[in-house]
Chain A
Amino acid sequence: MPDSFADLIRRSVGARLLVGLLVCVMLVGLDIGYRQGVTPVARAGWPGSEKESAGRAIGALVPAGRGHIPMPLDTPAAHASNLLAMPVTHSAAMMAFWFAGARESAPDVQIAASRFDRTTQQWSQARWVVNRHALAEPLGFGVRRLGNPVAWLDPQGRIHLFVVATGWGGWAAARVVHLRQHDQDADFANLSFDVVRVLPLSWLWNTSFLVRTAPLPLQDGGMVLPVHFELGIKYPVALRFDAGGEFKGMVRISSRKHLLQPTLLMASESHWLALMRDHSPVGKVAAAHTTDGGQHWSDLPDLALDNPDSSVAGVAVAPGKMFLAHNSSPHGRHVLALSASVDGPKWALAQGLEKGVAGAEYSYPALAWSEDRLWVTYTDHRQRIAWQRFSLAAAAR
């Protein structure tokens, strides 16, 4: 019988096709068996309660504090901060993460963190939370440089950090490493992270993807993390994660090859805007949008806002209330401002943040909305992280 079967396979295309089909069905069936089922369509969620500010017309931003976040001792350089709003029950109102060291891309660069205490209304002394040597052991391979931390709080109250970790070749060889808080009950002095994985984002040795701006929270507890590719050309991508922090796929945001560091703003639960840094000579804040919860994106006309090839940060706090922190001068990063919009395409200056002389640098802003207050951090001359906080005044009737 085996000889007859083997002869049949050898002689008959139909028999080979049938056997081949069975093999395919077996493989695919086995594959589907490992999967968790289809992820529901993403629906974005407003930060905080929509009711908190929906009834109030947007008025002036009222300053409610500013200064510099304390740096780790003997650390001359700092850059690329990111903010994480903490729950109302937490002793900290806000946490900030940034990279610091001798200089950008120095071998001693680590990820620093500080917390804004509700009681003292002060930022804590910064401490180191991630270094490249501690990443190497769990990963099983070396990490050359670190940068650009982005934080997210999952529904279980665990902090997730996404950090740029490079191989050989500088930022062009960057990868995104996902870490998760080791003990969610640990206090700030004992805050530490475990490596989850390096995110698989590229066939080319998994290189050239970076993270920079804050994730967009979703109603299912997950989030969408904006990243970008940067090897010669630059293009933005959105990564989806579920409530447990598990990777759920990637979608390209724009087909243009000169856009990076997208920031995501919610116009409605399935209509999102991506505003992006423009590396081209055009020098305007670029835009794209999705109307189906991130499944498909399409380009929009550039905004009227100037963009001197610098990072932007946006947040939508309620319907018709969007804010964007950006360098508003076309000539450099010496002017930093906050603009506001009700619809996304049209923006107006809401608040100046910094105005320096030519050559000064106030850049890489981060925005967060928490308990009716808008928080901003940004790099101050690559040496310190500055912060400002605003309340929304009720509009005059």
Chain B
Amino acid sequence: MDLSALLQSLVSMDNPVLPSLSVTRIALPLAWAVLLGCAALGLAGRWSRPYRWGLCAGVMGWTLLAGALSPAHWLGLAFQSPSAMIVFMGLGWLAGQGCRTRGAAVPVRVEPVVNRVILAGVLLGWVLLLDTLAWWPVSVYAWGFSASAVGVVAGLVVLFWAVSGSAGLSSSPGQPAVLLPLCVLLFFVLTRLPTGNVWDALLDPWLWVALQGHWLFSAVRRRWAGRVPPATRA
């Protein structure tokens, strides 16, 4: 492939690669199984370890059933497949819970760099929602089928990592917050899941709602912490 063809391939929006039905047929219940397993584990927070993990495994197994008995049948009907990003976050959380169960410390404090990544997700969601409602002069979603969208997202992530410095990224959640989008991009490039569009891999509407909720809550908490005099803080 010569340079001209390479550049055309990079910027073209009419050469998407979509995952096959056989791949999505497997991936969709797996993705929902991870999320529902996380939810079950979270809701059973006060239970003892065997029961918590037993419930998690049971819910995941139930989700993997074929047909209308499975929650994935109904969740897919309503919401299609979750994004690769939220599935990776779920898997990471499950792994973290596993470490915690074994007594290892898992950092829970959210670093400022993570807040910036969350804010980026919130802004991306607004761009995509308004694009769905045809606010923008060009279709952002259609751009998500192109190689240039993958390149731009990867470029922004590495630029953020480069200028943020490693001071906030050494052993805190800041590092996964930067590595996670790159892992999702790599997963997307290799599998094209969930839809062949990079935006669907990076962010889904429910994740966006959760990010907004978290960002708003954090903003209110920081503002409140700034108003309360030091002597009255716990």
Contacts and interface: CB of A to CB of B under 8 A. Distances in A.
A321 to B, nearest CB: 30
Contacts of A197: 18, 20-21, 24
Chain A interface, >50% SS class: mixed
Size range of the chain B interface in the assembly = 35 or more
Interface string B166-203: 10001000000000001001100110100111011001
A250 interface: yes
Given A37-B5, A206-B80, A28 B154 contact: yes
Given A249-B142, A249-B145, A34 B189 contact: yes
A9 B166 contact: yes
A21 B155 CA distance: 7
A141 B163 contact: no
A42 to B, nearest CB: 9
Given A24-B154, A206-B195, A200 B18 contact: yes
B140 to A, nearest CB: 8
Contact of B13 (A136, A144, A235, A249): A249
Interface in A13-69: 13, 16-17, 19-21, 23-24, 27-28, 30-32, 34-39
B73 A136 contact: yes
B68 interface: yes
B77 A144 contact: yes
B104 interface: no
Interface in B65-81: 66-68, 72-80
A27 B186 contact: yes
Nearest to B83: A203
B46 interface: no
Given A28-B151, A141-B73, A203 B200 contact: yes
B206 to A, nearest CB: 9
B154 A27 contact: yes
A231 B131 CA distance: 13
Nearest to B194: A200
A284 B200 CA distance: 37
Size range of the chain A interface in the assembly = 35 or more
B101 interface: no
Contacts of A139: 21, 25, 76
Contact of A16 (B8, B28, B154, B161): B161
A280 interface: no
B35 interface: no
B10 interface: yes
A134 interface: no
Nearest to A254: B134
B74 A16 contact: no
A20 B200 contact: no
Nearest to B198: A31
Contacts of B147: 28, 31-32, 35
A200 B76 CA distance: 14
A329 to B, nearest CB: 30
Contacts of A349: none
A229 B133 CA distance: 9
B81 to A, nearest CB: 9
17 contacts: A20-B155, A23-B154, A23-B182, A27-B154, A28-B147, A30-B189, A39-B12, A139-B76, A141-B28, A142-B68, A168-B77, A201-B141, A204-B205, A205-B80, A235-B134, A248-B16, A249-B15
Interface of B: 1, 5-6, 8-10, 12-18, 20-21, 24-26, 28-29, 66-68, 72-80, 128-129, 131-134, 137, 139, 141-142, 145, 147, 150-151, 154-155, 158-159, 161-163, 165-166, 170, 182, 185-186, 189-190, 192, 195-197, 199-200, 203-205
> Top 9 A-B pairs ranked by shortest CB distance?
A141-B76, A20-B158, A200-B195, A249-B14, A142-B77, A16-B162, A10-B166, A39-B14, A28-B151
